[in-house]
Amino acid sequence: MTLEKVYEPQRFEPRWAEAWIAGGYFTPPEKKQDGREVFSLVIPPPNVTGSLHIGHMLEHTEIDATIRWRRMRGDQTLWLPGQDHAGIATQMVVERALREKEGLSRHDLGREEFVRRVWQWKEQYGGAIIHQMKRTGASCDWTRNRFTLDPGLSRAVRETFVRLYEKGLIYRGEYMVNWCPRCHTALSDLEVVHEEAPGNLWHIRYPVKDMPGRFVTVATTRPETMLGDTAVCVNPGDERYRDLHGRTVVLPLVNREIPVITDPLADPKFGTGVVKVTPAHDPNDFEAGRRHNLPHVAVIGLDARMTAAAGAYAGLDRFEARTRVLADLEAQGLLEKTEAYALSAGRCQRCKTIVEPLVSTQWFCRMKPLAEPAIRAVEDGRIRIVPESYAKTYFEWMHNIRDWCVSRQLWWGHRIPAWHCAGCGQVTVSREDPAACAHCGSPRIEQDPDVLDTWFSSGLWPFSTLGWPDRTADLETYYPTTLLITGFDILFFWVARMIMLGIECTGDVPFRTVYIHGLVRDAHRQKMSKTRGNTIDPLEVIEQYGTDAVRFALLRGAAPGMDIALSEERMASSRAFANKIWNAARFLFLQMEKVGLGQLPLGEPPREVAKPCAIAGAVPLEDRWIRHKLNEAAARMEQAQLSYRYHEAADIVWTFLWDDFCDWYVEIKKLRVQQGVEPRAHVETMAETFELALRLLHPLMPFITEELWQRLAAKDARRPESICIAPCPQPGGAADEEAARRFGLLQSMVTAARALRADNRVDPGARVDGWIESMSTDVQSVAASEAAVIDALAGGAFELNPAARPAGVRRAAADFAVGLKLSGAQIDSIRQRVQKRLAELEKVIASSRRQLSSGSFIAKAPAHVVEGIREKLAAYEKELAEQQAVLAELGL
């Protein structure tokens, strides 16, 4: 069972990824099993537009770390994977590919053929995503993989749409929507991103009818829309314009007479206090237009070109039209002034084209009635959002929610289940494709050409994937899901809608907890972006550092809402950690061979966190200590996992394995083996401890732990086939504070001794005889003499004598002074250390005493706090006495 000298993760990682899936460890049963907690989570389905980026890997690693830990904890665990058809995004990339490769537009192919092409794309890239996820060790149940356009999920979409329609929550109507002239579709408010950009505020004079020489000056950022003005508006309370009430103005360039209206729309403090009203091209004006029954004059069309209604400007692009309108106004002396003005332009989230507010007929979902129960669910804690600060963002948005435009003029997506009748003109909305109009019976019906917003189907994801609307066993068992891990960027797009639709459709919340992760940034905290060129390709770094190292590097920075700075250094040091573990195992295996120990017979996993070394009648201090440390690590791991502090989980295993296990425990065991007293027993305890440490680490670094565990543990009928399903170390083992304290003392003595040795080098005048060259020999030398530190502290060969402790400490100090022939300078050095500590102790003791004597504190502080301070004070005083004793010995 020798181990290759070099740690080469690429040699075993892909193999285990396949073996795990083949073993079926990630596929839980449909029915709930007695005595097991259910832990379920649905993946935020990646878009099928391309391959996964490092942000996905962070998300999947966080999910996987939790899922694997839950599985090892014994929970009935489901991680359901899948992909999203991502309507507009996917249609866009396929159209682009089509244009670039074949020079065709989707219209050249026709709807049916185009959709077929997108499916082809999906097969190719969806597969790539799955492959990538498997390679990162994601422990998904691939037998339950879902796609938002699967027949089952499509049925859920229809069911939901029809239900909402029947409840009057979905309606069709002519309203102002955000229109992307490039994508040629309506967009929801969320799909429009606002960017501030420099612009101008133009002041334009409109002549007032029947008042020669009287003009009213409006201020606008979009002069081209004036062609569609159907009123000008002043604030009713604005005295400056009282004479205009009831008047009519003549719209320049088109010479249309339009009324002056009074409406709060006009803010007297802004611009000139007069606003032009274009109901067809501005959301505010649209509303004002309804209030005042103004006609609509649409001068900009779906292609962002001026319509026939724009008269002389017809056919011009909207921005060309702006230039021309301004020039013409200027020529007529109607352009009063041009003022620089920063304005925020709404752009299409996908293609960055400036969206055009246009009036068109679309399908909408009424949100207020859906939002109310969703708000309550978070308020009353049925859903917990982590970090909590995002709950506030959630409430803010939900309280101001507006109706959702759900129809898209795309071809790729869920076709809206509505049929228009050529006979009576009415709409039939139906779960099944109808043969005839439900109102007049005419067979001349045609399905609505639009598809649904892609987020509509995503909003059903937690239950549509489990079989809803059928009452499947999966749904019964795994819904509501336990946890959702996702990014803040889709809190409104997705999370909020899942909560609303989940409650509406199933009557229950879709998940209990929402964990929001941060962004992966580069080494300098810059956002990653293709244009910056600082992106990290997961597969590339996996190839370079190994999956475990990349996962670990990500987790080392992961906590709720925290952005993560991922650098080459961090991945390199994580790989160093993996390498360290690899080599620890290598050493262990060599030792096991040497003492004639084969693989560890595991059998039933130990309930106790680690067994002590079976040496006749005595438990070596280091065994008591390492068990204590492992117990502590297991307990802290549970806390870290429960609060999603992955960075802490990573820190716990790092410190335990590297600092405690490798640097101290193994080094001391080397000595024990050299001492020759029952070496086999020592090696065996060491191996058992390591085995448990591997389990503790497995959720974070699944591959290396599996590889080593398989080699370490003998096949046995009772042994789990994979570490994936081996029980993890559970907290609750006996804490051994005494061993921890004594070992801590040993550590500080050894460290002090080493420092002295280093100092000694600098000062050639004072040589220390028999000093060791390195850590291992350090301990060896110390342990070699009967009076040396370990044994001194142990107060015997192996076991500590509690009563002998203070004396033991003094003895150790004396041994250092006498046995090691310390120079005066060196003794001074130790004295300084001790004195520094004494000063600290005195300070904290004085402070504690003062606190305890403070009447106001005693009165105000809770009893347990006071008690805690008393206990600490006692401990400080005890340590003070001990340190003083050390000082006295040194003073010899």
Interface of this chain with RNA, residues 155 to 184, rule: CB under 7 A: none
194 versus 444: smaller Cβ distance to RNA: 194
Judge contact between 344 and 195, C-beta under 8 A.
yes
> Among 865, 885, 861, 863, which Cα is nearest to 873's?
865
Q: Minimal distance in Å, beta carbon 204 to RNA?
A: 10
- What the block records as the tokens of 454 is 């892609």
Should residue 874 be labelled a site residue for RNA when binding is judged by CB under 7 A?
no
269 versus 471: smaller Cβ distance to RNA: 269
Q: 3-class SS at 155?
A: helix
Should residue 651 be labelled a site residue for RNA when binding is judged by CB under 7 A?
yes
Q: Strand runs (DSSP E) across 294-430, as ranges?
A: 335-348, 356-365, 384-386, 404-405, 407-408, 418-421, 427-429
Q: Minimal distance in Å, beta carbon 640 to RNA?
A: 8
Q: Which residues pair with residue 363 across a beta bridge?
A: 172
- Report 659-678 residues binding RNA (CB under 7 A): 662-663, 666-667
Q: Which residues pair with residue 80 across a beta bridge?
A: 42
Instruction: Determine which residue in the list 4, 569, 828, 842 makes contact with RNA, applying CB under 7 A.
Output: 569
171 versus 587: smaller Cβ distance to RNA: 587
Q: What are phi and psi of 706, to 5 degrees?
A: -65, -45
801 versus 854: smaller Cβ distance to RNA: 854
Q: Minimal distance in Å, beta carbon 29 to RNA?
A: 35
- Report 611-650 residues binding RNA (CB under 7 A): 639, 643, 645, 647-648
Residues in CB range of 28: below 8 A, 6 or more apart: 76, 77, 78, 141
Amino acid, single-letter form, for residue 231: A
Should residue 586 be labelled a site residue for RNA when binding is judged by CB under 7 A?
yes
Give the whole-angstrom CA distance, residue 300 versus residue 136.
50
703 versus 876: smaller Cβ distance to RNA: 876
- Report 494-553 residues binding RNA (CB under 7 A): 521, 523-525, 527
Should residue 45 be labelled a site residue for RNA when binding is judged by CB under 7 A?
no
Q: Minimal distance in Å, beta carbon 342 to RNA?
A: 9
Should residue 877 be labelled a site residue for RNA when binding is judged by CB under 7 A?
no
Should residue 366 be labelled a site residue for RNA when binding is judged by CB under 7 A?
no
Should residue 275 be labelled a site residue for RNA when binding is judged by CB under 7 A?
yes
Should residue 680 be labelled a site residue for RNA when binding is judged by CB under 7 A?
no
Give the whole-angstrom CA distance, residue 98 versus residue 117.
9
Should residue 701 be labelled a site residue for RNA when binding is judged by CB under 7 A?
no
Give the whole-angstrom CA distance, residue 794 versus residue 746.
9
Should residue 562 be labelled a site residue for RNA when binding is judged by CB under 7 A?
yes
282 versus 623: smaller Cβ distance to RNA: 282
- What the block records as the tokens of 369 is 């009635």
Helix then strand then coil, in percent of the chain rounded to 5, is 50, 15, 35
Instruction: Determine which residue in the list 344, 674, 801, 835 makes contact with RNA, applying CB under 7 A.
Output: 344
Q: Minimal distance in Å, beta carbon 696 to RNA?
A: 17
Amino acid, single-letter form, for residue 535: T
Q: Minimal distance in Å, beta carbon 494 to RNA?
A: 12
8 versus 433: smaller Cβ distance to RNA: 8
Q: 3-class SS at 97?
A: helix
Q: Minimal distance in Å, beta carbon 169 to RNA?
A: 20
Judge contact between 496 and 393, C-beta under 8 A.
no
Q: Minimal distance in Å, beta carbon 876 to RNA?
A: 6
The three-state DSSP-derived secondary structure of 494-523 is HHHHHHHHHHHHHCCCCEEEEEEECCEECC
576 versus 614: smaller Cβ distance to RNA: 576
Pairing mode of beta strands 511-517, 384-386: parallel
132 versus 225: smaller Cβ distance to RNA: 225
Amino acid, single-letter form, for residue 856: S
Q: What are phi and psi of 572, to 5 degrees?
A: -65, -45
Instruction: Determine which residue in the list 109, 162, 193, 595 makes contact with RNA, applying CB under 7 A.
Output: 193
Should residue 691 be labelled a site residue for RNA when binding is judged by CB under 7 A?
no
Q: Minimal distance in Å, beta carbon 689 to RNA?
A: 13
Residue 547 CA to chain centroid, in angstroms? 18
Q: 3-class SS at 483?
A: strand
Judge contact between 260 and 233, C-beta under 8 A.
yes
**Total residues at the site for RNA (CB under 7 A)?**
103
126 versus 271: smaller Cβ distance to RNA: 271
Q: Minimal distance in Å, beta carbon 406 to RNA?
A: 16
40 versus 220: smaller Cβ distance to RNA: 220
Instruction: Determine which residue in the list 428, 472, 534, 851 makes contact with RNA, applying CB under 7 A.
Output: 851
Q: Which residues pair with residue 486 across a beta bridge?
A: 516
> Among 17, 9, 18, which Cα is nearest to 544's?
9
Q: Which residues pair with residue 484 across a beta bridge?
A: 514
Q: Minimal distance in Å, beta carbon 525 to RNA?
A: 4
Which class for 617: exposed (0-12), middle (13-18), buried (19 or more C-beta within 10 A)? exposed
Rg (CA), the chain: 37
Q: Site map for RNA, 51-90, x if CB under 7 A?
A: ----------------------------------------
599 versus 776: smaller Cβ distance to RNA: 776
Q: Minimal distance in Å, beta carbon 341 to RNA?
A: 7
Q: Minimal distance in Å, beta carbon 489 to RNA?
A: 7
Instruction: Determine which residue in the list 2, 255, 293, 400 makes contact with RNA, applying CB under 7 A.
Output: 400
- What the block records as the tokens of 797 is 């060969």
Q: 3-class SS at 305?
A: strand
Q: Minimal distance in Å, beta carbon 277 to RNA?
A: 9
Instruction: Select from 99-107, 146-154, 217-225, 802-810 the region that touches RNA (CB under 7 A).
Output: 217-225
- Report 278-337 residues binding RNA (CB under 7 A): 282-284
Q: Which residues pair with residue 344 across a beta bridge?
A: 196
Q: Is 184 left (phi over 0), alpha (psi -120 to 50) or beta?
A: left
Amino acid, single-letter form, for residue 438: A
- Report 776-835 residues binding RNA (CB under 7 A): 776-777
- Report 716-775 residues binding RNA (CB under 7 A): 751, 754-755, 758, 761, 773-775
Q: What are phi and psi of 620, to 5 degrees?
A: -60, 145
293 versus 400: smaller Cβ distance to RNA: 400
The terminus-to-terminus CA distance of the chain in angstroms comes to 54
H or E stretch covering 179: strand 170-180
Instruction: Determine which residue in the list 207, 840, 877, 885 makes contact with RNA, applying CB under 7 A.
Output: 840
Q: Is 498 left (phi over 0), alpha (psi -120 to 50) or beta?
A: alpha
142 versus 658: smaller Cβ distance to RNA: 658
Instruction: Determine which residue in the list 265, 483, 692, 789 makes contact with RNA, applying CB under 7 A.
Output: 265
Q: Minimal distance in Å, beta carbon 400 to RNA?
A: 7
